[in-house]
Amino acid sequence: MKANFKMFKQDIDAVLQRDPATKSCLEAILCSSGFHALVFHRFNHWLWKKNFHLTARIFSQISRFLTGIEIHPGARIGKGCFIDHGMGVVIGETTEIGNNVTLYHDVTLGGTTVFTTKGKNTGKRHPTIKDNVIIGSGAQVLGPITIGNNVKIGSNAIVTKDVEDNMTVIGMAAHKVSELNQKKKNKPFAAYGIVNNIADPLEEKINLLTEEIAQLKSELNKRNKGQ
């Protein structure tokens, strides 16, 4: 009980420290939808761990209706989390969030489950967010990837690969990576359109050009030394 109270206090402190519009503890408690969603989630997660899965899911839907924030009760969220504004935030079942993480509205921490004729992957499908991460509004962090400590993810960024500690990432450009045969029977359904380990032709071309430039520089250096 004491530990739970301490965690709630840390969540309130996070609102006061990171939301300039909130002036007091009472205002944070009464007016922060992000704090309300976390209070619901702490209880729902406790129910989930006690194997009251259906009850936890029902309460999480009530929380979603009241706050506009959808957090699966299976998700693990550390202390000092701050969900600013919050409307449209989605946090999936196997998401793990560290301490002092900040999420803005419309953030998705989503899974990339691939469904096949043999069933579906029910293991780790959602991202792991480490400590002191800031994720901007509209960002999509998808799949069982790891976002390192102190990372900043820009608004509307789409992140499908691991990000190292202390990095800032931005960008949302979409480009063709594969073509599905629409006539193929029993083709898999991939959540968010992401198939794990799919090759990115743009990245491959950039890597090839980088290698060629390095080779050209090496040959030029050898010729210059020979003169």
User: For 155-186, how does the pLDDT look when each residue is reduced to its tens digit (9 = 90+)?
Assistant: 999 999 999 999 999 987 666 666 655 556 66
Percentage of the chain lying above the pLDDT 70 cut: 82
201: its two tokens:
């032709």
Spatial separation of the C-alpha atoms in residues 130 and 146, rounded to whole Å = 8
Residues with Cβ within 8 Å of 224's Cβ and at least 6 positions away in sequence, in order, are none
Q: Between 221 and 226, where is the model more confident?
A: 221
Of 71-80, 126-135, 158-167, 189-198, the one with minimum mean pLDDT is: 189-198
Query: Mean pLDDT in the chain?
Result: 87
β-sheet with 119-120: strand ranges across = 119-120, 114-116, 189-190
- What pLDDT digit, counting tens, does each position of 23-47 carry? 999 999 999 999 999 999 999 999 9
Spatial separation of the C-alpha atoms in residues 128 and 47, rounded to whole Å = 22
Count of positions (residues) in the chain: 227
Among residues 110, 121, 13, 30, which one has the least CA distance to residue 70? 110
* Helix%, strand%, coil% for the chain, nearest 5: 35, 15, 45
The per-residue pLDDT for 114 is: 62
β-sheet with 70-71: strand ranges across = 70-71, 90-91, 108-110, 140-142, 158-159
Contact 151, 166 (CB under 8 A): yes
10: its two tokens:
């840390």
